[in-house]
Structure 1
Amino acid sequence: EGPIIMTGGAIGSLIAQMLPVSDNERKTLLVAGAAAGMTTVFGTPIAAIMLAVELLLFEWTPRSFIPVAVAAIVAEVERTLLHLPGPIFPFSGTMEASVTGLGGWVLIGICAGLLSGLLTQLVYACEDAFLKLPIHWMWWPMIGGLVVGIGGLIEPQALGVGYDNIANMLDGRTVATAALLLLVVKAIIWSVALGSGTSGGVLAPLLIMGGAMGAVLSGILPEASPGFWPLLAMAATMGGTMRAPLTATFFATELTGNTHVLVPLIAACATAHAVTVLLMKRSILTEKVARRGHHIIREYRVDPFALTRVREVMTTNVESVPAAMTLHGAAAFLTAPDTRHPSFPVIDEAGHVLGVIDPPAILRWRRNGKHRKATLGELLSGSKITLAYPDEYLEALSDKLLLANVSHLPVVSREDERLIGYIGWKDMMRVRSKKQAEERYRTALLSFGAKRKAPQSVGESAV
């Protein structure tokens, strides 16, 4: 499945290079090709779309969602016209929802999360071990192949794509002892193969190892249809290891053609995801990228600048200077010991902003030979000024500051253009600090009779 997904991505990239598109649109077309390739192999268009959203693009915008959805849907239609089988692993089993059943779903999710953490650590432990070997890296795949061969002698079922193993587990034909041996051998040879640099997949091996764990645990879990617990373990292991619970849920549903297991699947996948988040900083996929020096954020975050208006953070008690002030007076004012700010808006008698003065502007006027008795109103006459408005969002304001190459802007009313505030980068940064504080500090709003302790101030905590 790996080569066809990469081939689909390459086709999407080639098409994008022939079209006049932006870099982000080119990336979207690459991912659309990969989603089409995944759909062609597995017949899972919804899971392919979710994979693009959760792992590859990690954004939910029409610009990215629609091309990926179109590619996956068209690939599914073409797949049907080519008479490719679907679903690949038909499964009709289910389990009635109950408290006991919920406990089993959560337990299988916890075990899958622990297995996901173990597999991730094992892969990168093998990679670190190969890096320490006193031999050239070109010998590493040979050693990895040797380990895979030995594993195949111990358990031949661990070799190959493994689709027969998945089908046998879903049919309930895999006994616990055989499943345990398959799990151990497959985990070792898969980890060593990937750690040595040998080409290997992720999806099918995770399904096999997760299914084997589910087959082992079936004897102690509540009674269900044969293959039900291996199916849940497959999806939960995939979702936990790749940190893609929604992709794993829909992937298992579409692979089996069974929508009756959606709730158990999402329960197990969400539990596995929670366990892996607590155990590891990154997934098995993003760890590789992080080791190359790149930082990846995989959480949806809304830019606080896009939600905050200027009037919410601007300084309302504005210190300004009159237009009648002379150049000499402005220089003395800016260099006075009690002057606290680097720039000040200049206003006329009606309160309209004529411009902003700061030390560089004073020096520029002096170098240009302006008379020391010239007023600021005369010096700023005809100059272009950038203004902010109280109903603007900080997202647009940041662009204004960047284009004007200034650190502060006067805020004026839209009705009469009178000065009502002043805003700078420092005020905008407080928005991010406030957002972080909202996520960090926890307080109970209902005390139920218990007296809440007031939080200490910074001064009190320092005593």
Structure 2
Amino acid sequence: MLKKLYATDQTRLFFILKGGIVGLVSGIVVSIFRLAIEKMTAYIQELYLFFQEEPLWLIVWAILSVLTAIFVGYLIKAQPHISGSGIPQIEGLLQEEIHYRWFQVFWRKFVGGILSIGSGLFLGREGPSIQLGASIGQGASSFYHSPKYEQKILISSGASAGLAAAFNAPIAAVLFVVEEIHHTFSPLMWLTSLVSAIIANFVSLYVFGLRPVLYLGHMHSLPLKYYSLLLILGVFLGILGRLYQKNLLDLPRWFNKLPMPSPFYGVVPFLLVIPIGFYFPQLLGGGNQIILKLEESGYSLYLLLLLFLLRYIFSMISYGSNLPGGIFLPILSLGAILGALFGVFAMEYLGLEGYYLKNFIIIAMAGYFTAIGKAPLTAIILVTEMVGSINHLMPLGFVSLIAYIVVDLLGGHPIYESLLDRLVSYKKVANNSEQIIIEFPVTAESILDGMSVRDFIWPKETLLVTIKRDQQDILPHGDTILQMNDRLLILTDTNHANAVRKELRKKTLIK
């Protein structure tokens, strides 16, 4: 018994060390990536101020912008998996539905992300940062010649480190990996991801300082009498979140009408951002500066509505063009604008005190993110860490829950899961499939808890080969009773893996 316990502790120690190395490298890389984007965005904003005085230079700038878009397009053409945020690709990689060489993705995502996001397009740095971290984890697993399960843990820890360094939000980064990428809890994966996130965050704090990314200063606690407004806000955000999901998933249908190859769709936003930058240079980028200035700017309802429409439409154009860039920060900025819009309306017509406007900005960020990503725990902790205040957990949780329920009733699915389904559906199905092992958890709400193996109708093309229970591996037979927290290792093939996972989720959920 002691020998087995020692072996288990030694295994965890090795994963802690490997996760620490992945976190350190990811923290350094993502901090450089983040710093380059911030410096480039600031420089381009100053450049547009110069163009306001010398508008003829816009012709030269337009030509440079087209050439930049074409260059990024060639990067995408050489490696299509650098397009978009990269999070669906990571999920596909972990589910063995997508395969790519880590370094080919890594350097192209780094260069393409800086050029696309730093040019002022309405894209976020977090998705590319997550994919950069995951690529480093994948590279580390190749260096260690890791078995498949260890490779997945290191990829997950790298993804966690990438998000932590991008937003200085290590706890939310771990929750994101658990809630959004894996949809299940694994102690070893969680521990390794936490180590990576903490170390990557430490590196980022050393570079950017201790101030939270979206620090809004002191805020008053929202009284209970305003929770009826939060109920309305949650419904409002849920409806608009579902609309965002539909519009985002419809983008390929619109972009496919353009008379150009898909890797070069980026020419469109690179040209359209020029008039935005010329007239409103302060609006360029992912949106964090807008969030910081919303409360003090004194926008009217009319201006807030125009600001929301501008950022909504152009963020869709930016992301739909397949350029390397994420939607985390654009979603948070849109949520903040909606919160300000709702708060100003409540101030003008419902008697809300002005100093509570910050509260609605913060709360709406979490609610809108929840409605689109359907990851409420990640949304709540992410916003909490980014603003540096834990005094709003109750209203954040309340609005996020309402928004989640509304979008669920409207038929919404997690946006990254939907993007992965679309990505996989575009792939050509190979004639020869490979056998793989997928892992499926027995959760508290599963009908498998307490059921014998023979009493469950297993999907076709599957074979239950092992049950992992605590630190034991159990070879199943017909009379084996399944228990909550069991992890089932199921043999299938690459062509059926995704369908098997979906069928198991559907059949095992308590109705």
Normalising by structure 1, report the TM-score. Answer: 0.63
* d(CA) in 2 for partners of 1:15, 1:228: 42
Task: Find the residue that maps to 1:267 and give its secondary structure.
Answer: helix
1:82–1:130 Cα change, 3 Å: closer
Q: Which residue of 1 aligns with 2:158?
A: 33
Q: Is the Cα contact below 8 Å between 1:169 and 1:215 reproduced in 2? A: yes
1:292–1:76 Cα change, 3 Å: closer
Residues matched between the structures, number: 332
Match among 353, 359, 364 for residue 228 of structure 1: 359
Q: Which residue of 2 aligns with 1:286?
A: 417
Q: Which structure 2 residues correspond to residues 263-412 of structure 1 after superposition, within 5 A?
A: 263-293=394-424, 301=443, 304-305=447-448, 307-309=450-452, 392-393=480-481
Q: Which residue of 2 aligns with 1:206?
A: 331
Moved more, 202-211 or 88-97: 88-97
* d(CA) in 1 for partners of 2:364, 2:222: 17
Letter in 2 for 1:13: Q
CA positional deviation for 1:241: 1.0
- Cα RMSD (Å): 3.5
CA positional deviation for 1:168: 0.8
1:175–1:297 Cα change, 3 Å: farther
Match among 174, 179, 203 for residue 78 of structure 1: 203
* d(CA) in 1 for partners of 2:283, 2:367: 20
Task: Find the residue that maps to 1:226 and give its secondary structure.
Answer: helix
Letter in 2 for 1:307: G
Q: Is the Cα contact below 8 Å between 1:113 and 1:275 reproduced in 2? A: yes
* d(CA) in 2 for partners of 1:204, 1:54: 18
* d(CA) in 2 for partners of 1:18, 1:177: 56
* d(CA) in 1 for partners of 2:418, 2:173: 22
Letter in 1 for 2:316: S
Q: Which residue of 2 aligns with 1:14?
A: 139
* d(CA) in 2 for partners of 1:187, 1:123: 10
Letter in 2 for 1:62: P
Q: Which residue of 1 aligns with 2:377?
A: 246
Task: Find the residue that maps to 1:260 and give its secondary structure.
Answer: coil
Question: CA offsets, 1:230-288, max 9 Å, x none?
Answer: 11111111121111111110111111111110100111111111122222342322222
Question: CA offsets, 1:378-410, max 9 Å, x none?
Answer: xxxxxxxx99796x4269xxx9xx9xxxxxxxx
Letter in 2 for 1:176: L
Q: Which residue of 2 aligns with 1:325?
A: none
Q: Which residue of 2 aligns with 1:69?
A: 194
Q: Is the Cα contact below 8 Å between 1:116 and 1:237 reproduced in 2? A: yes
2:272 corresponds to 1:129 = no
Letter in 1 for 2:196: A
Moved more, 103-112 or 140-149: 140-149
Larger helix share, 1 or 2: 2
Q: Which structure 2 residues correspond to residues 186-205 of structure 1 after superposition, within 5 A?
A: 186-205=311-330
1:184–1:15 Cα change, 3 Å: same
Q: Is the Cα contact below 8 Å between 2:319 and 2:327 reproduced in 1? A: no
1:22–1:277 Cα change, 3 Å: farther
> Computing the radius of gyration over CA atoms, which structure comes out larger, 1 or 2?
1
Q: Is the Cα contact below 8 Å between 2:443 and 2:449 reproduced in 1? A: no
Match among 219, 222, 237 for residue 93 of structure 1: 219
Q: Is the Cα contact below 8 Å between 2:373 and 2:415 reproduced in 1? A: yes
* d(CA) in 2 for partners of 1:88, 1:265: 18
Q: Is the Cα contact below 8 Å between 1:28 and 1:67 reproduced in 2? A: yes
1:76–1:139 Cα change, 3 Å: closer
1:144–1:300 Cα change, 3 Å: farther
Task: Find the residue that maps to 1:180 and give its secondary structure.
Answer: helix
1:88–1:143 Cα change, 3 Å: closer
* d(CA) in 1 for partners of 2:267, 2:508: 52
* d(CA) in 2 for partners of 1:68, 1:387: 30
1:228–1:313 Cα change, 3 Å: closer
Mark the runs of 5 or more structure 1 residues left unpaired by the alignment: 315-385, 403-430, 440-463
Greater RCO (Cα-Cα under 8 Å, separation 6 or more): 2
* d(CA) in 2 for partners of 1:124, 1:64: 30
CA positional deviation for 1:434: 9.4
Q: Is the Cα contact below 8 Å between 1:182 and 1:209 reproduced in 2? A: no
Q: Is the Cα contact below 8 Å between 1:108 and 1:232 reproduced in 2? A: no
Q: Which residue of 1 aligns with 2:432?
A: none
CA positional deviation for 1:66: 0.6
Question: CA offsets, 1:42-79, max 9 Å, x none?
Answer: 21111111111111122212121110111112223334
Q: Is the Cα contact below 8 Å between 1:141 and 1:196 reproduced in 2? A: yes
Task: Find the residue that maps to 2:344 and give its secondary structure.
Answer: coil
CA positional deviation for 1:433: 11
Q: Which structure 2 residues correspond to residues 30-179 of structure 1 after superposition, within 5 A?
A: 30-82=155-207, 84-91=209-216, 92-98=218-224, 100-152=225-277, 155-171=280-296, 173-179=298-304
* d(CA) in 1 for partners of 2:481, 2:277: 62
* d(CA) in 1 for partners of 2:409, 2:252: 23
1:297–1:94 Cα change, 3 Å: farther
1:47–1:313 Cα change, 3 Å: closer
1:156–1:175 Cα change, 3 Å: farther
* d(CA) in 2 for partners of 1:81, 1:149: 34
* d(CA) in 1 for partners of 2:251, 2:267: 14
Question: CA offsets, 1:362-384, max 9 Å, x none?
Answer: xxxxxxxxxxxxxxxxxxxxxxx
Moved more, 48-57 or 167-176: 167-176
* d(CA) in 2 for partners of 1:233, 1:387: 48
Task: Give aligned-pair identity as a percent.
Answer: 25
Question: CA offsets, 1:115-159, max 9 Å, x none?
Answer: 211222222323211123454334422123333334445654432
Task: Find the residue that maps to 1:86 and give its secondary structure.
Answer: coil
Q: Is the Cα contact below 8 Å between 1:57 and 1:64 reproduced in 2? A: no
